[in-house]
Structures are given as structure tokens and as C-alpha cells.
A = this chain, B = another copy of it.
Amino acid sequence: MSAKLFEEVCRYARQTAAWASIDAVLGWDERTHLPPAAAEHRAEQSALLAGLVHQRWTDPTFGRQIEELAGDSDGDAALIARRLRRQRDRRIKMPKTLVERLARIAIVGQQAWQDARQNNDFPTFQPVLKEIVELKRQQAEAIGYDDCPYDALLDEYEPEERTSRVAGVLGQLRDALTPLVGAIQQSGRHPNIALLYRDFPIARQERFGRTVASAIGFNFACGRLDETAHPFCTTLGPHDCRITTAYDEHHFGSALFSILHEAGHGLYEQGLPVEWFGLPLGEAISLGLHESQSRLWENFVGRGRPFWTFYYPHAQQQFSALRDISFDDFYFAVNDVRPSLIRIEADEATYNLHILIRFELERALLDGQLQADELPVAWNEKYKNYLGIASPSDRDGVLQDVHWGAGLIGYFPTYALGNLYAAQFFAQAQCDIDDLDSRLAAGDFRPLLDWLRDRIHRHGQRWSAAELVRRVTGRELSIEPLMEHLRTKLSPLYLS
């Protein structure tokens, strides 16, 4: 009886997920291929799907069924039902018109952002952003919150997390990072990063990127790598995970590290249990947890000495521009630490300060303390305060990220949480796996991937991110593993 009900709930939820996965196809296409004039119709298509998916989630029969299952027992069925109920509760509070308006503005906003960025023209983006902020405010009010409206939005990306707790951790991180970054700046030591700005033919970059993504375990039979303006990873179905990157012919690394980053996301997606696709046990826990997987491969593996011990000879073979550069100079260059304008190109140490800026600005926008038209000025002030620099153009300033244009507010702090989770997981993997560094230096990524699959990926949403961190590492989330990683890596380069 209960087994039959569970089966029915699963079938229904899976079909809802299949509908949602169609929207993922539209979204991927929108960001990689859509002709400029087609944005409006795409928004209409996406709104139709969003409306249908919303309708399915809020269906009263489905609601009653998961309610019944959730109270049932402590098995997987009850766990799944409770997770579904949590997701449904958020949705049921949202009026259908608001869901559809948000879906539509996300498409229109991304196109407006893309145009505005291309033309370095914030004013054309500003009215769309204003509308987005207003709709997100309505969303927060509709969903409700204990402490502040931002909580309601953050919870979408980082379930069970709280604004005050994030603000606390990021505050600690800032206090710990500032002296480290300051000392590095004052050391007067800098790698010669000009070494990385030579000619790196795109076709070879693509081939090298594919080789590395395959080597760390990304399965191309169930995935793709394409080109786009702003790299991302998306899942279009149980065997269809797609990553993208942007190539710069005159820079080594921007494409490669973004491929490692997105492949890290992809490994998590490809490691989720396919048999649970469309149900909470087959889905990622949170964006912060997701980001921990991308950061782990990008920074903890990909900018590490063992990784390049294996790959630098290959890179030198592929790219003649690297042949006269010593290993040490190269390794120092890919670990350059200095305040910079572009978040996605920022180093491991200063990156979290970029997040702090966005976290504070979007809270101010949402609270109404800041208006959309005041944003470029406020942006540059924050950059001066936190990083000591300001962008000469909005293109490389307030227009650099797609997120706000896509309606994503409350999303940015998950990047910083991801860095913290990644550090804590990687420290634990170093303890759990014999000779991890030697394995990585031999190009053997399997033990690390197996460890991640076993400890993290295969569990889907069985636990919250905070609980998973406790289970995997035996302690609460802390800034110490990240600080320890940075000190250990950066001291010999800058401070010894």
C-alpha cells in the first residue's frame, strides 16, 4: 500500500523532472546557440514549461501523497517525501504569474545583459535589472522568512542556510584573508604572468582541455564540451551533462581552468545515482556543495604542484609557447595572487572578496537601500575598499557576471561556501587516501574521484550540506582548512 504510493509519487516526480529537463535544453541552447532575434520566443517557450512544472509541483493530489509518505516512517521513502515537501512548500507559496514572470525575465534579462556587456552600456540593462530586483523582492515576500528577505532567496540555492550565518563565516574569512593578501602584496614578489599571455592556438587548447577533462573522469559519452561567453555546466537528462568554456587564443589557462571547474561540476552530476534521476536522492544538495566539487578540481587539484608535475610536459609538447618556461616559473604564474577586476579570473586568495562585494550589494538592492541606477558607482566603491582597484568600464565591472540578469540573487555566497567546503573535503581526502599527491603526480585521478563518489556524489540529497560536511570530515564547517591550504601553498612562493 505504502510501497504503491511511493511508486506513484516517484513516477510523478520523475515526469515533472523530465519536463524540467526540457527547460534545461532550452536554457543550454539559449546560452550557446540562440540567434539574437529569437530571445523573445525562447522566453515564451521557457515560461510555458515553467508554468507547467509549477502546476505539477503544486498539484494538490501530489501534495497529499507526499504528506502521507513523509509522516510514514524513517526509510528512504519518507526521506524523499520530506525533501519533496520542502521543495513543494517553496513553490506552493509562489503565485503562478510570478513564476512565469520570473522565467520570462530571466531570458530577457540574460539577453539584455549580453548586449549591455558587449556595448559596455549599463543603462540599457538597468531597467531590466530594476524589474528583476522587484520580482525577487516579491518572491521573498511570497515565500516568507524569519530574519530577512534575503534568507528566502538564499534558501533556494543553499537549503537550510541562513544569511546571518553566511555573513559570519565570510566575515571571519575576510579577517583571515586580509593580512595574508596584504603580506603577499608587500612582499613585492610577483610571478611573471606575461609568460601565460602568448599564442596558444584554440584548437590545441580545446584538445588539451578535452584530454584533461576525460582524464579526471568526465564521461563524454554522456556529456559535451562547447563554447560560450560565460562558462557553465548544466544537466539535460540522466546521461546528458554539458559543460562550456570560453577560449582566449592569447592566454593559457582561462579556458583550461574553466574546463576543470565545469568538469568538476560535471563529475558531481555524473556521479549522482542515475536510478534516482528526478528524485532528491539523485540530485545535488546545494549550489555551495556543487561549487565545492568544481573548486576542488580547479584549484586544489588543477593549480597544484602534483597536477602540473604530470601535465606540464604534455602542455609543453602541445604549446610551443611554453617550451622555454621552467616548471617553477609556470607553476608560480598559475598561482599568481593579486587583486583583480574579474571574479572568474581571480586567484584562490582574493576570490572570496569578490563574493563579499556581490553579497553585500545584492542584499542592499533587495532591501531597497540601493537602487539599480546607483549600482555602477556602488560597485566601484566596494572594489576600491576591498581590493584597492576599480574598473575603468562597466563591462569589466558591474556587467561582468550573468547572474543578476538571469534573476539569480542569493546565489553568489554559495561560491564562497563552495571554496570552504572544497578545502575541508580536500584536507580530508589527503588524510583518507594513501599518497594522494603521488597519485595525482602520476596522472592517476581515480582514487580521488572514487573517494568523492563514495563520500559525496552517490548520496544525492540524503543530508544537508552542513550535515554532509560533518559526516565526511568529522567536524563543523570552518575557515581553517582553506586558510591552511592557502598558507601552505602561498608561503613558499611569496613569503619564504
Contact = CB atoms under 8 A, between A and B. Distances in A.
A368 B48 CA distance: 42
A287 to B, nearest CB: 23
A41 B224 CA distance: 16
Interface stretch (A28-36, A316-324, A356-364): A28-36
Interface in A229-257: 236-240, 242
A238 B33 CA distance: 16
Given A22-B22, A25-B26, A25-B29, A222 B48 contact: no
A376 to B, nearest CB: 29
Contacts of A28: 29
A45 to B, nearest CB: 5
A251 to B, nearest CB: 22
Contact of A236 (B15, B38, B222): B38
A15 B226 CA distance: 31
A194 interface: no
A18 interface: yes
Contact of A223 (B18, B35, B238): B35
A19 B46 CA distance: 10
A238 B15 CA distance: 29
Given A15-B48, A48-B15, A240 B34 contact: yes
A239 B45 contact: no
Copies of this chain held together in the complex:
2
Contacts of A226: 33
B224 A45 contact: no
Contacts of A19: 48
B237 A45 contact: yes
How many chain A residues sit at the interface, stated as a range, is 20 to 34
A29 B226 CA distance: 13
Contacts of A38: 222, 236-240
A49 B22 contact: yes
A3 interface: no
A1 interface: no
Interface string A35-65: 1111011101100110000000000000000
Nearest to A236: B38
Nearest to A238: B41
A195 B187 CA distance: 66
A28 B21 CA distance: 16
A48 to B, nearest CB: 6
A38 to B, nearest CB: 4
A35 B240 CA distance: 6
12 contacts: A15-B48, A19-B48, A22-B45, A22-B48, A25-B45, A33-B226, A36-B221, A37-B222, A38-B240, A41-B237, A41-B240, A42-B237
